[in-house]
Amino acid sequence: MRSYYEATARERLAAIVDPGSLREILPPPTRTRSPHLQALDLPTAFDDGVITGSATLAGQPVLVAAQEGGFMGGAVGEVHGAKITGLLERAVATRVAGVILLLETGGVRLQEANAGLIAVSEIIRGICATRAAGIPVVAAIGGQYGCFGGMGIAAACCSTIVMSEEGRLGLSGPEVIETAQGVDEFDSRDRALVWRTVGGKHRYLIGDAQVLVDDRLDAFRDALAAAVRAGDRLDLAAVEREHALLARRLHDYGACKDGEDVWRAMGIEAPHEVPMLPTDVLVAAVRSRRAA
């Protein structure tokens, strides 16, 4: 089965939803491009870097969005963001079984400045409103560009995050931290360090990602379908549970300097071997230990 990491956004969608079920909303012939990029005389894309639509996933009616990391690092501009926000509003209006977000993004598209920032905050509000209406919003993160910036916050607001080891999730990306704070703070070229900090395995162990899968399109598809089937409702009790978890996590691991220190504190035997373990072996070994 093919790699999720290597696939384009369109290839991912085609492999994940039920064959022939995708009905694209604002498809490329509508030429729904960014007016800001045109004004700046920069290249545009006919879908502004995100594919939206309705489909079925293992027979369940869902709305889907897939960001294309290759186009401006998947960055969120005004049109791009409005497509995702509109999808979330549609989910509440039409009572679908779930919303699937295939996220691959560096966050706000800096060329669109405040319009991009507002777009990301509207997405976050849309995710919370959709979950409050009892509709799960499920994120997949497993692409080359990871999921960073404001969209890292958006991902954390989702019902479930499905990640592969290759995926990365964070706020400021590694290069941003190094630029702002210096190489002594964070060496963005140390790939092992980067993945111990923001990679899929660490995000799963520390409880930010709920499901860890192999880098296969069918593995993502099955995990996304199961997360929709599980349902979700965001209410005060759920928020309080999440806050308690975060407080416990800060208490238990707040002094750790490295992902490996966290894994050791969890009681994982041979934490230095975690990066080398196959997904199924890791998941079986840590089920009772991870912070969730």
Partner 1 sequence: MEKLAFTYDGGTPADGARGARIVGVVASGNLEVLIEPLASSRACTIEIDTAAHGFGATWQAVMDDFFARHPVGGVRISINDAGATPAIVALRLDQAIEDYLRAVPA
Q: Is 44 in the site for partner 1 (CB under 8 A)?
A: yes
Tell whether residue 27 is a contact of partner 1 (CB under 8 A): yes
Asked if 239 touches partner 1 (CB under 8 A), the answer is no
Minimum gap (Å) between residue 48 Cβ and partner 1: 10
Q: Applying CB under 8 A, which of residues 1, 6, 43, 233 lies at the interface with partner 1?
A: 43
Among 15, 28, 222, 264, binds partner 1 (CB under 8 A): 28
CB neighbours (10 Å) of residue 112? 24
Q: Kindly state whether residue 71 participates in binding partner 1, applying the rule CB under 8 A.
A: yes
Q: Which value, to the nearest 10 degrees, does the dihedral of the CA atoms of residues 235, 88, 157, 81 take?
A: -150
For helices 113-132 and 78-94, give the axis angle rounded to 10 degrees. Answer: 10
110 binds partner 1 (CB under 8 A): no
Distance separating alpha carbons of residues 15 and 219, to the nearest angstrom: 11
User: What residues between 2 and 21 interact with partner 1 by CB under 8 A?
Assistant: 8, 10
CB 20 → partner 1: shortest distance, Å?
8
Residue 184 near partner 1 by CB under 8 A: no
Among 46, 59, 95, 179, binds partner 1 (CB under 8 A): 46
User: What is the smallest separation between the CB atom of 178 and partner 1, expressed in angstroms?
Assistant: 22
CA 87 to CA 156: how far, in whole Å?
18
Residues 265, 286 contacting (CB under 8 angstroms): no
Q: Choose, by CB under 8 A, the member of 42, 250, 284, 292 that binds partner 1.
A: 42
For β-strands 60-67 and 50-57, DSSP reports them as antiparallel
Cα 33 from Cα 48, distance rounded (Å): 5
Q: Which amino acid is at 60?
A: Q
Which of residues 105 and 279 has its CB atom nearest to partner 1 in the complex?
A: 105
Taking CB under 8 A as the rule, does residue 34 contact partner 1?
A: no
Number of residues that bind partner 1 (CB under 8 A): 17
Specify the residue, 70 or 86, whose C-beta has the smaller distance to partner 1.
Answer: 70
| Euclidean distance between CA atoms 289 and 240, whole angstroms | 21
Is residue 5 within 8 A of residue 217, CB to CB? The reply is no
Distance CA 200, CA 186 (A): 18
Query: Between vectors from CA 80 to CA 78 and to CA 84, what angle results, nearest 5°?
Result: 110
Rg, C-alpha atoms of the chain: 18
CB of 13 to partner 1, least distance (A): 12
**Cα angle 246, 4, 20; round to 5:** 115
Q: How far is the CB of 184 from partner 1 (least distance, A)?
A: 31
Contacts for 114 with CB less than 8 Å, ≥ 6 apart = none
Rounded to a whole number of angstroms, the minimum distance from the CB of residue 202 to partner 1 is 28
54 binds partner 1 per the rule CB under 8 A: no
- Specify the residue, 10 or 289, whose C-beta has the smaller distance to partner 1: 10
Is residue 68 near partner 1 by the rule CB under 8 A? yes
Query: 23, 29, 39, 257: which one contacts partner 1 (CB under 8 A)?
Result: 29
Residues that bind partner 1 (CB under 8 A): 8, 10, 27-29, 31, 41-47, 49, 68, 70-71
